[in-house]
Structure 1
Amino acid sequence: MAKKVDTRAIAGAFYDSLVGTALDQLHDVAPKLAGVTGNDAGAQIDAALSPQTMPQVRNFLHGLAKEGVLDHIDDIVTAFAAFVSSAAGQALDASVISAVELSEGQQTSIRTDLRKRYGEVAVNFSVDPSLIGGLIIRVGDQVLDNSLRSRLSAIQRNMLAG
């Protein structure tokens, strides 16, 4: 008996993987390329990229440099993230974990910042007093851990290694 396969789901997962990888690579390289302009932009792009960078991302960045718009890379990556989330027809899921309850104004500010960067985002706020201070923000598969707990753990690891 033939195995029933949801080809649409498999194709969707492959699409998400490709686009997600490209977006992750653009997010990683954008800070390294801030302010890069001029004739040596191509060499600076190649130096900033890892060997695992998709050829499409490499070609895209070289195209931006050729057109003289590489200095807008942060805005372009943000717009691409918004395009990807809207093309998928759904909001990205985000969670914000804080050490204390955030005010409505703080929550609104965080939602606004996340929407500027990622497009439509469904944000869930929660409290974890063990963080001591700071925030942990998860959007899709990306995590920004700016909690005091993680910073103290990093200091402890450095002291033990040294």
Structure 2
Amino acid sequence: MAQSSSPISGVAERYAGSLFELALQANSVAKVESDLNSFEAMLAGSSDLTRLINSPVFSGEEQAKAIAAIADKAGITGLTGNFLRVVARNRRLFAVPGMIKAFRQIAAEHRGETAAEVTSAHELTAAQQTELKAALKSVAGKDVAISVTVDPSLLGGLVVKIGSRQIDTSLKTKLNSLKLALKEVG
């Protein structure tokens, strides 16, 4: 199960845990994880979808219909599609990003991996991701499953979060540190 010390809400952990148990029984953990990644990408790319899951204005029924249509159109079927529909009917769509994060953590732990969140200024190539995984494996002592997001405001470098540790090598942070140091001198 996901650690209770994580910033993920209890609701998200419970739903993710239940989904993981069902996926494990159905031998479809990889498929569910892939579907959740697809849904997360859709969330990141659509402000309307984000508004739908976060807005209390929409009824549970409206959210369920919309999510069903979106999931069907995106090819998110089976266990993941049903899961999203149940979450919508239960008015818990606001917690879906946390559920996805918790599911990833649970799945990684099950595979004997540790999960790492990587934020990069630019899209990482497959070779860079492989090299990063190898470097993180030497630090963590076990295989690392990475989740990469792009944040151009970093300007360059990476921010890596593994458990409670954060490694920030971003140019943005270095420039802010330099700015602070110059203010102290001047």
TM-score normalised to structure 2 length: 0.39
**Higher RCO (C-alpha under 8 Å, 6+ residues apart):** 2
- CA radius of gyration, larger in: 1
